[in-house]
Amino acid sequence: MGEILDLVEARLRTALGEPDARAAVTFLGTDRIEVLRFIDGDVVRYATLGMSAQPMADPTSPLADPVKGPRAELVVSVRVGLADTDQVLRPLAVLAASPQVEGLIVAPGASLDLGQPLWAGAPFSSVLVAEPGGLVEDLELDEPMDPVRFLPLLPMTHNEAAWKRVRGAQELQERWLSQGTDLRDPLRASVPLD
């Protein structure tokens, strides 16, 4: 487990540079989850470290495979200085612990809902899991282990999350794109959904 996390941290450092801060959160009955903060100009990125230590297991399976199964870490990118986004550390750790706690498999296109703002004053309480590979490349592990995927999380307003449940992730992403939505704006309003 430690060896995998060392490789994951090395991949994050290669892609994002040196973290300028880190915090650790442990939930009862789960492994420790760390959140690393990386500053890149006017963007701050928060990346989990620890979610990929164990493969995510199908909640319908009677026995979890300790080796095979999807592995992932989560990454959130927001603009610096517009809100106190460092408060996202604990909510992000909660999301990263959800496969262990709730038996979820976190995959692109999924919605994750916290039921509370990502940070104080945030118009977002849920996120859309985006496709990996753009910011941080997948980390290949020795067979038979699956690669670690670095999944970007895109904050969604309540209205966007409701619209996504009806229309799907693809349509929401197309709407964001067609409207020129700045998904890194920590205070942005909901995209027009009429």
In SS3 terms, the chain reads as CHHHHHHHHHHHHHHHCCCCEEEEECCCCCCCEEEEEEEECCEEEEEEECHHHCCCCCCCCCCCCCCCCCEEEEEEEEECCCCCHHHHHHHHHHHHHHHHHHCCCCCCCCEEECCCCCCCCCCEEEEEECCCCCCCCCECCCCCCCCEEEEEEEEEEHHHHHHHHHHCHHHHHHHHHHCCCCCCCCCCCCCCCC
State the pTM of this model.
Answer: 0.93
Give the model confidence (pLDDT) of 5-40 as tens digits.
999 999 999 999 999 999 988 877 778 899 999 999
Q: What is the rounded radius of gyration, in angstroms, for the C-alpha atoms of the chain?
A: 16
Give the model confidence (pLDDT) of 45-56 as tens digits.
999 999 999 999
Cβ pair 71, 52 in contact under 8 A: yes
Cis peptide bond prior to 132, omega within 30° of 0: no
Per-residue pLDDT of the chain (194 residues; tens, 9 = 90+): 679 999 999 999 999 999 999 998 887 777 889 999 999 999 999 999 999 999 998 767 777 777 888 999 999 999 998 889 999 999 999 999 988 888 889 999 999 999 999 998 899 999 999 999 889 999 999 999 999 999 999 999 999 999 999 999 999 999 999 999 999 999 999 998 87
> What is the rounded distance in angstroms from the CA atom of residue 47 to the CA atom of residue 34?
8
Amino acid at 131: E
> What is the rounded distance in angstroms from the CA atom of residue 18 to the CA atom of residue 21?
9
Whose structure tokens read 């009955």?
29
